[in-house]
Structure 1
Amino acid sequence: MLVRTAYRLETGLREAASRVALRIGWTAAVLPYPGYGTQGRARVLGRVLLAPTATDPAARRGVPGWQRLLTLERPGVDVVVELGGSRRTVRSDEGGIVDATLDVRMPEGRATATLTVGERYDTATVHVAPDDARLGVVCDIDDTAWVTNLHDPLRAVWRTLARSSGGRRAVPGMAGLLQALRGRYPDAPVVYLSNGPWNLAGPVARFLEHSGFPAGPLLMTDWGITPRAWFRDGQAHKRSSLERLVEDFPQVSWVLIGDDGEHDPDLYGEFAARHPDRVAAIALRQVVPRPRERAVADDPPPDSDHDGSTAARAPSGTLVVRAPDGTGLLRGLRDALGVEPDRAGDDDVGW
């Protein structure tokens, strides 16, 4: 009862603020997010917000995270999505999110979709993988790509709410790991899957680009109250996103990259158990002093390498590699992906 009351209060305040914004001349605008495509289909993502007519919501830079949470999402708005000659009208959901699937065949590489609401429009990048891609990468963000310290809640809140993307620190070796995977498998789609809010999608994308990570779509979620819970279920978001990737990329087997600070070991292990033929390997960065034992890698005992990395088989048979950084994970993944290690030097993370 209390949760439902709080949800109605939050919704009422947003609607009241939206009415005020509309009276002073604000209009609906689309904030685009990077999407993906393959097998004759494309997924285009964005969000409808209220903004002053002379303001581009996507142009904000250097803004602390807490300010990015102060947005007026606009649900129930029709958005025209166009890509490669295909056109579809979709309606934004209760959080203003636009998630459109178009049946359109595009050449591999980057494509540009146009999202129009009223007289305002913007363009979204769509990363198109070739139909014959066989390996893909799913990478978590918090404590996998950038340092958040989610196991230390006060530090995590400070980094999320007080800093912009320019103040974030990359996890050592992780960009090199993803670049090495793309170097060995140039057609591999790379998808960034996070429980972080869509409000931080801009800073996340800029951080990934500036830190040398390969480009790819973002799959994020909403924070805030739902009619049934104080917080949205991040595990459910990741679980459903992985299942959607199975549907959208029927030919791809995934390398799942995350960390052991929260739920990634369990989620990835469950996914591998459901789809053993769709998981090439699981790579987990160790972020706590003594990683908790997980079902994904408890039998047989892991083999330890000199750099602190360990490797074991999950009950599904999937290889699970653990290491403190991306360099250790890269070394652990080499044999599993059928590539001879580069013995030029221990500091060389190339294939």
Structure 2
Amino acid sequence: MSSDRTFTARLNARAISVAYRTETGVRDWFSRRARRNGWTPAVLPYSGYSSRGTARVLARVVLAPPSFDLNARQGMRGWRHLLSLECPHTEVEITLGDTTVVATSDESGIVDQLIAMESPLGPGTTRAQLVLPGRDTVPASVHAISSDPVRGVVCDIDDTAWVTGLAHPFRAAWRTLRGTSGTRQSVPGMPELLRTALGADPDPGLIYLSNGPWNFVGAVTHFLELQEFPAGALLMTDWGVTPTRWFRDGKHHKASSIERLMEDLPHVTWVLVGDDGEHDPEIYLAAAREHPGRVAAIVLRRAGLKRVGEDEESVEGVPVIRGDDGDELLPRLRTVLPDGGATTG
């Protein structure tokens, strides 16, 4: 029995390796053809965060034609966002404040650069300037979080900010691939809930955390702006075969992202907002157990799939509240926050 499992594991590992090399080879073939047709590397800017003299700048390098229009991507249907040619191992010059560094994109074209600032950023949202040869300078948002102890929020996207319907996989896939940022439905009451969770602290931290692919970051950002969600950094992941797995591990992505936020921002106490449709309950409950004093509340929208920790009203003294949407969750959240969720208005 053990030998059978070992053989199956080796066979699966070999199949994954072949699939990964095939996918990479196909991408490289299309990339060579695109370059012969005049396509060159271009930068897609993402939203990062900064505090206490360090900044995390995020972007992606893709191959694009000379007429590439970043703004035109926002209104595209979902499936078209998946049609991109990632550009790995490409150097990007990043200037933020008085600091300039050179970053290199990874195998998926992602630039994820932690910068030690010569001078800390001022409060609010600022812009890093990203430069590639032959292209216009591209600004990437960096949200500066207060250096004082402050409350922050981690918020899921699917079935928390917008309606995906993961309880019905085919319907969810249709919404994702067919819809646009303008046709997506917002979960009622969520923008106000997030503003309340952030409270009256000056320059709080807001991080949108999703298992969706980076390809959809423009559509997500546009949706959040249209629906008047508060501005924040956005952390997504990459779909597709890896050298060791058929699919990216969404649970690991979220858990490791929260762990890094705990390390990067040790002075922030978090409100964790998600839903019961994927792994949010177990990830958030684990974070509260592993980081005593760092989680102020766990807020879970009922999306209809799982009931992990359904009977728990608190974990390690952290209140766990549940409801069908932001309108139902908001008054419950106000009762458990130390300041009642007072906002600056």
CA shift digits 1:216-271 (9 cap, x unpaired): 01000011111122110011111111011111111011000000111100010111
Task: Report the Cα distance in structure 1 between the residues aligned to 2:273 and 2:73, rounded to whole angstroms.
Answer: 30
| TM-score, normalization by structure 1 | 0.90
1:324 CA displacement? 0.5
Q: Which residue of 2 aligns with 1:333?
A: 333
Deviant stretches of 4+, over 3 Å: 182-186, 339-342
Structure 1 unaligned segments of length 5 or more: list them.
Answer: 300-311, 343-348
Pairwise CA distance, 1:184: 3.3
Output the TM-score relative to the length of structure 2: 0.91
- 1:20 corresponds to 2:21: no
Q: Find out whether 1:218 has 2:240 as its counterpart.
A: no
TM-aligned CA distance change 1:71 to 1:16, over 3 Å: same
Aligned-residue RMSD, C-alpha: 1.8
Distance 2:15 2:201 in 1: 51
Q: 1:265 aligns with which of 277, 281, 286?
A: 281
Change (3 A) 1:341 1:125: closer
Q: What residue number does 1:43 align with?
A: 56
Equivalent pairs, count: 329
Whether the aligned pair in 2 keeps the contact of 1:138 and 1:191 (CA below 8 Å) is yes
User: Is residue 55 of structure 1 aligned with residue 68 of structure 2?
Assistant: yes
Deviation at 1:277, TM superposition (A): 1.2
Structure 1 contact 180–350 (Cα < 8 Å) conserved:
no
Aligned to 1:147: 163
Is the Cα–Cα contact under 8 Å of residues 151 and 198 in structure 2 kept in the other structure? Answer: no
Q: Does 1:110 align with 2:125?
A: yes
Contact 1:32 1:46 in 2 (8 A): yes
SS of the aligned residue for 2:303 comes to coil
Give the letter for the 1:119 counterpart: G
Which of these residues, 281, 284, 294, is aligned with residue 308 of structure 2?
294
Alpha-carbon distance, 1:317 to partner: 2.1
Partner in structure 1 of residue 314 of structure 2: 313
Instruction: Name 2:11's counterpart in structure 1.
Output: none
Q: CA deviation at 1:350?
A: 11
Question: Higher RCO, 1 or 2 (CA under 8 Å, sep at least 6)?
Answer: 2
Aligned equivalents of 2:195 and 2:232: distance in 1?
A: 12
Tell me by how many angstroms 1:58 deviates.
4.6
Q: Relative to structure 2, which stretch is displaced further, 141-150 or 227-236?
A: 227-236
* 2:47 and 2:234 in contact (8 A); partners too: yes
Aligned counterpart, 2:4: none
Report the counterpart of residue 308 of structure 1 in structure 2: none
Aligned twin of 1:90: 103
- Distance in structure 2 (CA, Å) of the matches to 1:219 and 1:282: 19
Whichever residue aligns with residue 323 of structure 1, its letter is G
Looking at structure 2, the residues matched to 58 and 29 of structure 1 have their Cα atoms a distance apart, in angstroms, of 13
In the alignment, what sits opposite 1:34? 47
Give the partner amino acid of 1:228: T
Deviation at 1:194, TM superposition (A): 0.3
Shift of 1:37: 0.5
Structure 1 range deviating more: 191-200 or 171-180 = 171-180
Question: Are 2:198 and 2:341, in contact at CA under 8 Å, matched by a contact in 1?
Answer: no
Quote the residue 2:8 is aligned against. Answer: none
Matched residue, 2:5: none
One-letter amino acid of the structure 2 residue matched with residue 43 of structure 1: R
Q: Deviations over 1:297-332 (max 9, x none)?
A: 535xxxxxxxxxxxx112x22110000011221111
Following superposition, the deviation at residue 20 of structure 1 comes to: 0.4
Alignment map for 1:197-236 (pairs within 5 Å): 197-236=213-252
The alignment-based identity, stated in percent, is: 51
Mapped partners of 1:148, 1:46: distance in 2: 25
- Relative distance call for 1:340 and 1:63 in structure 2 (3 A) is closer
The residue that corresponds to 2:290 in the other structure is 274
Task: Please tell me the residue identity of whatever aligns with 1:195.
Answer: N
Question: Residue 208 of structure 2 aligns with which residue?
Answer: 192
- Taking structure 1 as reference, are residues 313 and 182 closer, same or farther at Cα in structure 2, changes over 3 Å only? closer
* SS of aligned partner of 2:332: helix
Tell me the equivalent position of 1:70.
83
SS of equivalent to 2:87: coil
Instruction: Report deviation, 1:186.
Output: 4.2
| Structure 1 match to 2:175 | 159
Q: Which residues of structure 2 form unaligned runs of 5+?
A: 1-13
Conserved 8 A contact 2:47-2:233: yes
